[in-house]
Structure 1
C-alpha cells in the first residue's frame, strides 16, 4: 500500500511538471507570440492616406500579423478616398480595430464603422459625417443619398444600429435616447458610443486596449509614414494640386522672359516635379505620364521658337493634359486644376508683359535695353545738312546712282523719275542716309509754270 501511494504521488508530480512545461499560461496563449500593427490614420482623409493604408494592410498580410489597430485622429476628408480605404479595411482577413485617440469625424467615422471593432479613448468623439461640397454646403441629393447608403451598409456589416449611422450623416434623423436636437448631426462621445453599441469599449491607452483585445503580451509594431509618403499626402491634396500646376506653369513661362535658367525656372520645374513625384509615390502615376508631360512641354517650346501655325502648341497642350489625367486619381479634379493653372498662367503673362518693366525688383527679370538714338546708338550718319543743296549727277539715276554735292561724291536716289548723267540736281529731302534729289531743270519749269498761271 505504501509503495502504491509513493507511485501515485510520483505520478502526480510528473504530470504537474509536464503541464508546466508543455501547457502555456493563459496570457501566453492569448498574447505572447502574436503581433499587433498600430497604423496611424491622421489628418485629412485623401488619396495619399489611401495609398499609405493600402500599403500598411498589404504589409501586415504578408507578415501574417495577428491584429491591426487603426489609430483614428482625423476631421474627415474626401468621400472617394474614404470609400477606397473602407474597402481595404473590410476585405482584409486580419482582425481590425478602430481606436479613436482624439476624433473620428465625417469620413473618419465611416472608416471606423468598417473595422471589426471600435474602441475609444475617454473624451474622444465620432460622427458628424454629412457630405459637404467644395463651397462648404451640403452636397446635392444624389451624392447625399449614396453616402447615406454607404453609412447604413457600414453599420450593418458589424451588426450596429443603422439609424445611428444615418443620424451622423442626415440632420433630419432624430435619436430619442441621445437627446439629439432637431437639425443637428449626431456626434457620439465615448460613453454614448458604448451605450448605443457603436464602441465595444473605452480604453485610456494602448495597454488597456491590448488587455481588452486579449493581446497583453503581443509584440507591438508601429507602421509609420515614410518621408516620401508624407510628401505624397501633401501634394495629392485636391487644394494643393492646382497650386502646384499654377506655380509650375507660371514659373516656366516667366523663365522664357529671362536669360539662362534662373529662379522662376527652378520654381516651376520643382513644382511639377513634386506633382509627379507625389502621385507616383501614391501609386497614381507612372514613368509614362512623366515622359508624356516632358514631350508636351517640348512641343510648346518648339511652338514658341519655330511657329507651326498652332500645330505644335495644340499637340503639346494635349500631351500635357493627357499626362496629368494619367497621373490623377480623379479626372474631374485634374481638369478643374488644369483650367485654374492655365488661367493663372495667362493672367501672369499679361501682367508680366504689361507691368513688369515699370517698377519693383522684377524689372531685372526682363531685358529692356534697346539700341536707341537717344542712347547714342545709330545705324548710319544722318545727312540733314544736305537738304536744299545742289549738285550734279555723276551717273544715270534710275532712280538710284551717284552725285557730286558740295564737292562730295554721294549715293542718291531720284524722286522717282529718270535723270541723265551730268544733270543739275537738288536735294529735296534727307532721311537718315537716304538722300532724295530732283533735277533742277524740271524744278525750274514747274516754277515758271506757276508764275504764268
Structure 2
C-alpha cells in the first residue's frame, strides 16, 4: 500500500500535467452553427491551455459568410489550429478549401481530396457580372490566406477559378497541406516539436502522448445544425404549412395546429441563417392562400392547380445565395415530392368536396323538399299536413287535396309548405 502511495505521489503530477488537445468533428455543410462551434472550440482550447485545437473536417461547402467568420477565428486564434481532412473518402470542397488553407497546420488522411471551390450552379443561370465579382472576391480572399500560411498561392486561386482538385499526395507535393496522417494519434506524433507562428509569437508543440478532449455540439446546436440544411428547412416548413392547413380544415383538432406552429417557427429560424429569395417565399405564401380559397370557393380545381404551380415555382426559387460560391439549394427530388404530395392531397380534398355537394341534404329545409307528407284536412287550397311527425301549414299548388292523401313538398316559404298530390302509378 505504501509503495502504491509513493508511485501516486511522484507520478500523478506528471499525469495531470500531460498536454491536452481539444478535438472537434465537422461532417456536413458550413453554416453559422458550425462557425460558432469552432469559435467556442478555440476559446475552450485557450482556456484549458491546450497544445492545439484539432478539427476533423468533411464538408461539401456551405455559406460564404460563415466561412469568412471561421477563417477569421482561425487566423486570430491564440492557440494552434490543426485541420484534418478525414476519414478516408472525406472531401474538403468549396468552403472547406478556405478552412484548410487557413489552418496553422493542414493535414489530410489517406484516400481524401481537396478542391473544387469554383462557383456552383444553383439551378439557374447566374448573372455573369455578379458571378465574376464573386469569383474575383473569393480568389483574392483565398490568395491572402495562402500567402499568410506560406502555401501554394497559385493552386489556391485555381481551386476557385478552375475548380481543380487534389488527392492528399498531390496536395502534399504542391505544398497545399503540411502532413498526411492515418489517424489522430499519428498527427500528434508527427506534430511533436513542430513550431507554429501565432499572432503572439512562435510556439513549439508538445503533442506526443497528448490526450484528445472531444468537444461535442450541444443538443440545441445539433438541432440547429440539422435545420440549417436547406432540404431539412424546406421539409420542416412544408410540415408547418400542412399542420396549419389541417387545423383550418378541421377546427378543434388542436394537434395539427400545434405541430404546424412549432414547425414553422423552426423553419423561420433556419431561413434566418440561410439566404432566402423573398420572391420564392411570396409564391409559397400565395400558394397557401389559393389552397385555403379552394375550400371556400367552388373553382372546380382551378385554385388548387394555381396553388400547386405557385408552390413548385416558389420552392425552386426559395433559396438563392448572393454568392454563387455558396452551396445552398434544395434537392429537386425533395421539391417534386412535396409538390406531388400537395397536389394529391388537394385533389382528394376537392373530390370529397364535390361529392359532398352532389349528396342530397339529410337535414334542414333543403332535406324537406321532395319529402312525402300526409294531408291532415282538406286542402282547398290551404290546410295542414303532417311531415316527419310535425304539423305544418300547407297550400296546394294544383287542385283540391282530400284528407289522408299523400302529398309531395315542392317549395318551403315563410314556414309554409307548398305541396302537390302524389301521382299514382297506373297499372
Classify the TM-score, shorter chain. 0.5 to 0.7
Q: How many residues align?
A: 319
Counterpart of 2:171?
Answer: 193
Distance 2:210 2:384 in 1: 111
Whether contact under 8 Å (1:382, 1:431) holds in the other structure is no
* Residue deviations 1:286-318 (CA, integer Å, cap 9, x gap): xxxxxxxxxxxxxxxxxxxxxxxxxxxxxxxxx
Task: Decide which of 108, 132, 137 is 2:96's aligned counterpart.
Answer: 108
Q: TM-score, normalised by structure 2?
A: 0.62
> How large is the RMSD of aligned CA atoms in angstroms?
4.4
Counterpart of 2:107?
Answer: 119
Q: 1:143 to 1:169 in 2, by over 3 A?
A: same
Distance 2:133 2:57 in 1: 28
Larger radius of gyration, structure 1 or 2?
A: 1
Counterpart of 2:241?
Answer: 249
Whether contact under 8 Å (2:114, 2:167) holds in the other structure is yes
Counterpart of 1:335?
Answer: 278
Counterpart of 1:205?
Answer: 183
Q: Does 1:65 align with 2:50?
A: yes
Alpha-carbon distance, 1:59 to partner: 2.7
Distance 2:261 2:38 in 1: 30
Counterpart of 1:129?
Answer: 117
Query: Is the partner of 1:197 in helix, strand or coil?
Result: coil
Counterpart of 1:39?
Answer: 24
Counterpart of 1:151?
Answer: 142
Whether contact under 8 Å (2:84, 2:109) holds in the other structure is yes
Alpha-carbon distance, 1:246 to partner: 3.4
Distance 1:409 1:146 in 2: 86
Alpha-carbon distance, 1:361 to partner: 12
Whether contact under 8 Å (1:98, 1:112) holds in the other structure is yes
Query: Is the partner of 1:191 in helix, strand or coil?
Result: helix
* Residue deviations 1:138-168 (CA, integer Å, cap 9, x gap): 7711111111111111111112231110011
Distance 1:81 1:100 in 2: 19
Mean CA deviation greater in 130-139 or 152-161:
130-139
Counterpart of 1:161?
Answer: 152
Q: Does 1:98 align with 2:83?
A: yes
Counterpart of 1:240?
Answer: 232
Extract unaligned runs of 5+ from structure 2.
1-9, 193-206, 302-344, 386-390, 396-409, 418-427
* Residue deviations 1:250-299 (CA, integer Å, cap 9, x gap): 421331120312553244124124336x65xxxxxxxxxxxxxxxxxxxx
Query: Is the partner of 2:34 in helix, strand or coil?
Result: helix
Q: 1:411 to 1:252 in 2, by over 3 A?
A: same
Q: TM-score, normalised by structure 1?
A: 0.59
Distance 2:98 2:216 in 1: 22
